[in-house]
Amino acid sequence: MKSKGKAVKPSRSPWSEANPDPEAEEPDTEAEEPDPEAEEPDTCSEQEEERDSEASVPIGGSWRGSLRSGPRARRESASGGGRRRRQRGGGGGGGGAKEHNVRRLESNERERQRMHKLNNAFQGLRESIPHIKTEKKLSKIETLTLAKNYIKSLTTIILGMSGAHLPDGEAQAQANAAKLLQCYQRHLEEEGEEGLTQFLNHTHSFSQGS
DNA sequence: TAGGCCATCTGGTCCT
DNA sequence: AGGACCAGATGGCCTA
């Protein structure tokens, strides 16, 4: 139907490819939602359902609030608290259904590209952080978590090298940092001396500068 | 089979 | 007005 899952999809063909002539038949939006009213979930229950998702992690007491502290945060309050769920089945806008479908397809394509860029960034991040190499690639959440810990540890190392005080005098963080450094050195040694030298030079110059 | 992870579609909201 | 961003919904694949 809509998606094929990761195994089938090294780079999944766009919707328009799977449906070479979207104009000829109704887009799948309509085909798969014969009764949009019936399945439309109650908006109020959404937050309850989604608490486990990474985007919904409660930080600082409010859902998603601190993840979007910028201008976007205004959105929620402006719209009376939380987004209303869409009413599927197209039609929506003022223009004809055909024009709406065309815009939708273009929008889908842009969104796909955007997500591909995001995934490329994730891949870059995966390759930048040291971790035990396994056949299975790091998931997104693992990547973010590792990156966060990695940054913390590097910060600890750098602060230590520069003689600055650690935020909370964390001996544990120091120990973790030392462990991480060893791990990182091993990692780099596997890949050659150059990377390690570069790393040490960076940290050295950083500590000189601070 | 359930749960995790993912890609994609979609509509709402904000920004330019 | 159109694009970017976001998050919910959906469904497929994989693994324990």
Distance CA A174, CA A152 (A): 10
Task: Give distance CA A60 / C1' C10 (Å).
Answer: 30
Q: A9-13, A125-129, A198-202 — which one is most confidently predicted on average?
A: A125-129
Judge whether residue A13 has pLDDT over 70.
Answer: no
Judge whether residue A125 has pLDDT over 80.
Answer: yes
**pLDDT at residue A139, as a whole number:** 86
Q: Given the structure tokens 């091993």, which residue do they identify?
A: A186
Over the stretch A127-176, which tens digit does the pLDDT of each residue have? Answer: 888 876 676 788 888 888 888 889 989 999 998 888 765 555 455 556 65
Distance CA A178, CA A183 (A): 9
Q: Which nucleotide has the shortest C1'-to-CA distance from A72?
A: B14
Identify which has the larger pLDDT, A93 or A65. Answer: A93
Whole-model pTM above 0.75? no
Task: Give distance CA A201 / C1' B3 (Å).
Answer: 45
Which residue is closest to B8 in terms of CA–C1' distance? A3
**Residue A34 CB: number of other CB atoms within 10 A?**
9
**pLDDT at residue A44, as a whole number:** 31
Residue A22 contacts residue A105 (beta carbons within 8 Å): yes
Element (H or E) spanning A121, and its range? helix A97-128
Judge whether residue A31 has pLDDT over 60.
Answer: no
**pLDDT at residue A172, as a whole number:** 59
Over the stretch A70-99, which tens digit does the pLDDT of each residue have? Answer: 333 333 333 333 334 434 333 333 457 777
Which nucleotides along chain B are within 7 A of a protein C-beta? 4-15
